[in-house]
Amino acid sequence: MHVTQGTFSYLPPLSDAQITAQVQYCLDQDWAVSIEFTDDPHPRNAYWDMWGLPMFDVKDSAGVMKEIQACRAAKPERYIRVNGYDSRYTRQTVGLSFIVQRPTNEPGFRLERQESNDRVIRYTLHSYATDKPEG
* 75-131 tens-digit pLDDT: 999 999 999 998 887 777 888 999 999 888 776 677 788 888 888 888 877 777 667
Residues 3, 99 contacting (CB under 8 angstroms):
yes
Distance between CA atoms of residues 35 and 41, nearest Å: 14
Residue 47: CA count within 13 A, CB half-sphere: 0
What letter does residue 113 receive in the DSSP assignment? Answer: E
Whole-model pTM?
A: 0.77
